[in-house]
C-alpha cells in the first residue's frame, strides 16, 4: 500500500471535492482518495506507487490543478 499527497487548487465546494475524488478514483491501482476542501490536500492510496502525471491528468480532467511542491 502506497500513500501520496497532492495540493489541488480551485476547489470551492463539495461538488468540486466529489469531482476530484471521482476522477482520481478511476485511475487504475487507486484504492482510496481523501480530499480536504479547506487545505486543498488530496491523499491518494494505491496498491503501488503511481505516476504523478497520471494523478495530475485526472485532477485536470476534473477541472482543477495540482500545485507543484516547492
Evaluate if residue 65 carries a pLDDT over 50: yes
**Which band of pLDDT confidence, cut at 50, 70 and 90, is reported for residue 70?**
very low
> Where are the chain's structural domains?
2-67
**Cβ 55 vs Cβ 6: under 8 Å:** yes
Buried residues in 11-28 as b, exposed as e (16+ CB within 10 A): beeeebbebbbebbeebe
pLDDT of residue 69: 62
SS (H, E, C) 19-58: HHHHHHHCCCCEEEEEEECCCCEEEEEECCCCCHHHHHHH
CATH of domain 2-67: 3.30.70.100
Evaluate if residue 51 carries a pLDDT over 60: yes
Q: Beta-carbon neighbour count of residue 63 at 10 Å?
A: 12
Digit-coded pLDDT (tens) for 5-36 = 999 999 999 999 999 999 999 999 999 999 99
pLDDT of residue 59: 98
Amino acid at each position: 500500500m502506497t500513500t501520496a499527497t497532492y495540493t489541488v487548487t480551485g476547489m470551492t465546494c463539495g461538488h468540486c471535492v466529489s469531482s476530484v475524488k471521482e476522477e482520481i478514483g478511476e485511475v487504475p491501482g487507486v484504492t482510496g482518495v481523501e480530499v480536504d476542501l479547506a487545505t486543498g490536500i488530496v491523499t491518494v492510496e494505491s496498491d503501488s506507487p503511481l505516476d504523478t502525471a497520471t494523478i495530475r491528468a485526472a485532477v485536470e480532467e476534473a477541472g482543477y490543478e495540482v500545485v507543484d511542491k516547492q
